[in-house]
């Protein structure tokens, strides 16, 4: 009797331990579907491979952030795929059609393929690297999501010619308002320049008061500047290169805003007297950015892209909420 009890006890402990080990191996769950650490690891490995073969090795300084973002993306994809499976089943959808697959093949080739590589060559390369099965699973999940969008949501993402024309007029009106605002920016920059060039003016105080530099240091200090740092300010480096220490530049009016520089020192020149680097103080009065005016066709594509993201996010979120509620009740 004691032996029987002991055996039952051992079996119970083994079962409980085994269950806890399985549970610990689960990273995410949606209803009765689970994502294991092993499967997650395979997906992360796949997309790390695809990324590095397309764009090169990740900067070591950002490696931890890259891995964290990639892991979170794979978990989110698992949940989305589970929701899409349910939504497709509820809508009575068949497996994705040939048109959906062909369009997705083009997108995959553009996103993950090397220059001149076909989709077939991409599949073969991924398979040779040991990620063929994981690639196929991800492709099928994405195809299912695309097919669901095409069948159930695409019609809600169409912008008519009249609607597109109205939106273009809104953009033009916005740009007109921004142009008026930027004229005031130029006038303000000229006023600040007048203050800065008056005898006894304190450039550092003016920078603290008027500069809108998002990375502004006290007094507007920007140290060890070279030609590279002036690339977005047309003609500025040529002008400041000929300035004397303590001299103040004219106003440089460019798309980013209006800039005024004072040459502070720490000047380094080459043997020919060409300025290599120096310390400056600057006042940057920022402009409002204009909206690019697209064509009607471009606007329709942009609208569809934005609406697709919004509607798919809403559909997936609602499905996951229903699944979670059904599973817990």
Q: How far apart are CA 46 and CA 132, in angstroms?
A: 9
Q: What is the pLDDT along the chain (329 residues), one digit of tens a residue?
A: 444 444 344 334 344 444 455 567 899 999 888 999 999 999 999 999 999 988 888 888 888 999 999 999 999 999 999 999 999 999 999 899 999 999 999 999 999 999 999 999 999 999 999 999 999 999 999 999 999 999 999 999 999 999 999 999 998 888 888 888 888 899 999 999 999 999 999 999 999 999 999 888 999 999 999 999 999 999 999 999 999 999 999 999 998 899 999 999 989 998 888 899 999 999 999 988 777 788 899 999 999 999 999 999 999 999 999 998 887 76
Would you state the structure tokens that stand for residue 280, as one six-digit string? 């400056």
- Strand, helix or coil for residue 295: coil
Backbone phi, psi, residue 261, to 5°: -120, 150
**Where exactly are the structural domains of the chain?**
26-157+304-328, 165-286
CA atoms of 11 and 117, how far apart (whole Å) = 56
Q: Dihedrals φ, ψ of 269, to 5°?
A: -125, 160
Question: Which two tokens mark 82?
Answer: 């589970």
Long-range contacts of 35-39 (CB under 8 A, 24+ apart): 35/75, 35/78
Alpha-carbon distance of 208 to 259, in angstroms, equals 14
Residue 26 dihedral angles phi and psi, to the nearest 5°: -85, 125
User: Residue 280's closest CA among 328, 327, 233, 329?
Assistant: 233
Question: How many CB atoms lie under 10 A from the CB of residue 156?
Answer: 12
CB half-sphere exposure, 77, CA atoms < 13 A: 19
Statement: the pTM of the whole predicted model exceeds 0.85: no
């Amino acid at each position: 009797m004691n032996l029987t009890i002991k055996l039952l006890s051992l079996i119970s402990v083994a079962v409980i331990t085994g269950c806890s080990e399985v549970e610990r191996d689960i990273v995410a769950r949606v209803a009765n579907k689970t994502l294991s650490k092993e499967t997650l690891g395979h997906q992360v490995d796949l997309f790390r491979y695809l990324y590095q073969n397309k764009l090169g090795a990740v900067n070591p300084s950002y490696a931890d952030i890259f891995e964290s973002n990639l892991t979170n993306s794979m978990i989110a994809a698992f949940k989305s795929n589970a929701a899409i499976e349910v939504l497709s089943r509820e809508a009575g959808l068949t497996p994705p059609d040939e048109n959906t697959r062909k369009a997705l093949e083009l997108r995959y080739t553009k996103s993950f393929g090397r220059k001149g590589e076909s989709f077939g060559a991409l599949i073969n390369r991924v398979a040779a690297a040991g990620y063929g099965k994981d690639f196929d699973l991800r492709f099928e999940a994405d195809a299912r999501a695309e097919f669901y969008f095409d069948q159930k949501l695409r019609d809600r993402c169409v912008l008519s010619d009249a609607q597109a024309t109205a939106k273009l007029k809104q953009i033009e009106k916005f740009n007109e308002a921004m142009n008026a605002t930027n004229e005031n920016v130029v006038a303000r920059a000229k006023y600040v320049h007048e203050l800065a060039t008056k005898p006894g003016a304190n450039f550092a105080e003016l920078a603290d008061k008027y500069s809108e530099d998002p990375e502004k240091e006290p007094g507007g200090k920007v140290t060890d500047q070279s030609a590279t740092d002036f690339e977005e300010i047309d003609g500025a480096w040529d002008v400041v290169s000929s300035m004397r220490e303590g001299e103040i530049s004219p106003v440089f009016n460019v798309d980013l805003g209006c800039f005024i520089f004072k040459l502070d020192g720490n000047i380094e020149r080459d043997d020919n007297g060409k300025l290599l680097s120096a310390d400056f103080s600057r006042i940057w009065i920022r402009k409002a950015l204009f909206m690019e005016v697209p064509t009607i066709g471009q606007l329709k594509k942009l609208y569809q892209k934005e609406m697709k993201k919004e509607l798919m996010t809403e559909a997936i979120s609602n499905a996951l909420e229903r699944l979670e509620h059904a599973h817990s009740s």
